[in-house]
Structure 1
Amino acid sequence: MTKRYAVVLAAGQGTRMKSKLYKVLHPVCGKPMVEHVIDEVSSLQLHKIVTIIGHGAELVKSTLGERSEYALQEQQLGTAHAVMQASTQLKEEKGTTLVICGDTPLITSQTMEELLKHHEETNAKATILTAHAEDPTGYGRIIRQSNGDVKRIVEHKDATEEERKVQEINTGTYCFDNEALFQALSQVSNDNVQGEYYLPDVIEILKNAGETVSAYQTERFEETLGVNDRVALSQAEKIMRERINKKHMVNGVSIIDPSNTYISAEAVIGPDSIIYPGTTLTGNTAIGNDCIIGPNTEIKDCTVGDRTTIRQSVAHQSFIGSDVAIGPFAHIRPDSQIHDEVKIGNFVEIKKAVFGKGSKASHLSYIGDANVGSDVNLGCGSITVNYDGKNKYQTVIEDGAFIGCNSNLIAPVTVGKNAYVAAGSTITNNVPEEALSIARARQTNKEDYARRLKRKE
């Protein structure tokens, strides 16, 4: 079997993005563009992937990690020059090399596999991935010979009126016979206005040498979108979002308004879950079966069990069990563990806390740095006072405890199993098991005080 390789072009700064973030690191549905490309390329089981890095080299390497080898293009002198930087890894290899841009996040492994297969079946030295464009303005046109082989690529600005009518365009993705590629690269000139070495010149060099140059036209034009500015970035985001949402709906998820639902590429959602409008699921979020999420809910890097409802709330980097009810207007901050059958009600904030099975904080509470047992009831306005201005301390509330409304638990403190804390208490000492703790000022009624006060006015 022919060995296959890939070169991913990811060295450009992307000045048209007008951003301090390097172009290929701009996210599409929560994942950097170049990572989308590498993920799809990796699924082709190639022998070697080489990513050409330049601007933001270390950031790109830290994003992609060991999924790719790297070659540094210190000066950005064109696409042919970029591919030449991979000569150390690839020049002596035999096989087929796929060259793809890191700013094409929508391209799929299916399309790349079709391109590779067409290239190998036609015994071409080079194959161009093309597409039909309804409006080809600005694209290079593919001019074919009568037998279907590529005669030449003509840029829009150089095309005749007749050539500009051609709607088959060059997408900038290619397959090459690897040996022919590196031989031709050594012949590429920078005798042009920009003084750069262009990869399409390799096509012309191979044609002049009498080699076969083929083209494979994909039916999925949107996959070929190259992102060079924020307008194209928004277009890629929209297409990717539609693709992701469709995948979930096909797999049994009800998305009530897909155009107003934002789901990351990594998110997993179980069947028979319902996602309401305004919901954002980002990062490595996993939603179980039969859940109700939203409307207007933000979940990031969370695991959510089955049959859980989260309405109009925010949850980040936490575990949420099954049969849990959260919201509306709750905030689950990082490192929280909400176990099964818990209720977290409106205007409750949970931070770095564990909630045992069946416990409840129904409204207007802050529970931070706490370990809450099972079947605990936290009344309205319950607060774990975890911070003294310098250090944070833990509150422990054991199984079956009942915390009355408007109680302050001054950490570090433990409320024992099945203990009661009276409403309005400020607890500074541990409460034993089965005890009732009352920590509030004794009520004093001063008869006729208000009447006397009014007389003085």
Structure 2
Amino acid sequence: MKDVIHYWKSNGVMIEDPATTFISGDAVLEPGVIICPMVVIKGKSIVKSGSTIDSFSNVINSIIGPDCTILSSTIIDSSLNGNNTVGPYSYLRNHTVLKNGAKLGSLCEINDSVLGEGTKCKHFSYLGHAQVGRNVNIGAGTITCNFDGRNKFKTKIGDHAFLGANSLLVAPEKIGDRAFTGAGSVITKDVCANEKVYGVPAKTRI
């Protein structure tokens, strides 16, 4: 273990506290990466130049692209394309992908989903089996209700959509480009492009 840490330090990786850092022998780190104390990097993970892995983060069999910041979060079997921020205290798993510039805030769980370029999900949300477009705003408390007790279903969200806080998206369904859901809405059917819906269940408002 000391040999692995020494190798990466001598190859341009800043490891702030070697005594509390674990890096798998199969991992690859590029010069310019910063590893803070109390970090675990396992499996065949890759961390690219300019990225910072903050304290209490776990990266397992995942790719962290350039110029990413991971704040006290867990990332398993997932990929960050670049210029992403995750955390604090978020959880990515099961082949989740963050496209360039996508941001996650505190206490977000993302499972088997793709978030498009520039999309933001900043607080207390769960997205499972979701395909999310570019520049989408995902309000605090938004949940994709993707499991009916037997099967899991997908949710598709178009570019530039706005999901209000505490929106519940009952899969399977599609949210169109530039669609808008009001805070606290329960979405039980597809929402067309540019459509605005509110309520329980959500209905179109003009």
Moved over 2 A (4+): 439-442
User: Cα deviation per residue 1:259-311 (whole Å; 9 max; x = unaligned)?
Assistant: 10000001111111100111000000000001010201001000111000001
Q: Is the 8 A contact 2:188 2:201 kept in 1?
A: no
1:16-38 deviation line (CA, Å, top 9, x unaligned): xxxxxxxxxxxxxxxxxxxxxxx
Larger radius of gyration: 1
1:332 is aligned to 2:92: yes
In 1, distance between residues paired with 2:133 and 2:91?
Answer: 20
Q: Which amino acid aligns with 1:369?
A: H
TM-score (norm 2): 0.96
Find the partner of 2:195 among 429, 432, 435: 435
- Structure 2 CA distance, aligned partners of 1:252 and 1:343? 27
Bigger fraction of residues in strand: 2
Equivalent runs, 1:213-232 vs 2, <5 Å? none
- After the TM superposition, which residues 73-222 of structure 1 pair with which residues of structure 2 at under 5 Å, given as runs? none
Give yes or no for the alignment of 1:345 onto 2:105. Answer: yes
Aligned counterparts of 2:184 and 2:191: Cα–Cα separation in 1: 15
Q: How does 1:358-437 map to 2 (within 5 A)?
A: 358-437=118-197
1:287 aligns with 2:25: no
Distance 2:10 2:17 in 1: 15
The runs of 5 or more residues in structure 2 that have no matched partner are none
User: Does structure 1 residue 244 correspond to structure 2 residue 23?
Assistant: no
TM-score by length of 1: 0.44
Unmatched runs of 5 consecutive residues or more in structure 1: 1-240, 443-457
What's the % identity of the aligned pairs? 35
Q: Secondary structure at the match of 2:122?
A: strand
Instruction: Give CA deviations for 1:53-74 in whole Å, capped at 9, x if unaligned.
Output: xxxxxxxxxxxxxxxxxxxxxx
Partner of 2:71: 311
1:124-168 residue CA offsets vs partner (Å, 9 max, x unmatched): xxxxxxxxxxxxxxxxxxxxxxxxxxxxxxxxxxxxxxxxxxxxx
- Candidates 273, 276, 297, aligned match of 2:33: 273
2:107 counterpart SS class: strand
- RMSD (CA atoms): 1.1
CA distance in structure 2 between the aligned counterparts of 1:421 and 1:346, rounded to whole angstroms: 22
Q: Deviations over 1:386-420 (max 9, x none)?
A: 00000000000011000000010000011000110
CA distance in 1, matches of 2:183, 2:30: 41
Alpha-carbon distance in structure 2 between the residues aligned to 1:352 and 1:362: 18
Equivalent pairs counted in the alignment come to 202
